[in-house]
Structure 1
């Protein structure tokens, strides 16, 4: 255990000498991960988090595919529509990228009243 702490300190000092303090921050986080060996409940929680990551990735891929399908449909239907002067430039379906952004904003509820 002391070798790990010594290595963390050496890497942090080298990072500070090179002018990159982010290396020291990463080493402090690595020292916090070392606490997993002492707390059994924290180990169980961390293991549950790691086991749920593949399932979360599947949900995110499905969500992105759904946004992609509706984005393509929205561009096909609403891209040729005329826009008024009070139209929000970032919330439209003129291009596929804007369509994805608009759908993501709508799904999270951010500025939904401006989009509608």
Structure 2
């Protein structure tokens, strides 16, 4: 999988694009195939090591291995649910489906308090 990482605190030039192995979800975890991500001010602060007290969590001199991959916000599709599906402990309840063009009506329906499951908005093809 493609990832953007930083191995040291500093300016944007510390960022590197890397190819990492696809993670295997552990028990009760999901694997998401990411289609898009954002650049957040929080991640820019992490990259700079700011605020300084944040280094207590991120690592005092350089980022710890678990926090070196950026992409706090993302959109994608669930690729694996592993144990949840295998153990039949996952039940998806879809109440209604609306096209994106009817987003106002979907919000009205949810506001009505009659929703008993997820309300899905379909988006036209890529």
Could you say which TM-score interval applies, normalised by the shorter chain?
under 0.3
Structure 1 or 2: more helix by fraction:
1
Greater length-normalized contact order (CA 8 Å, ≥ 6 residues apart) = 2
Structure 1 or 2: more strand by fraction:
2
**Structure number with bigger Rg:** 1
State TM-score, norm by structure 1.
0.20
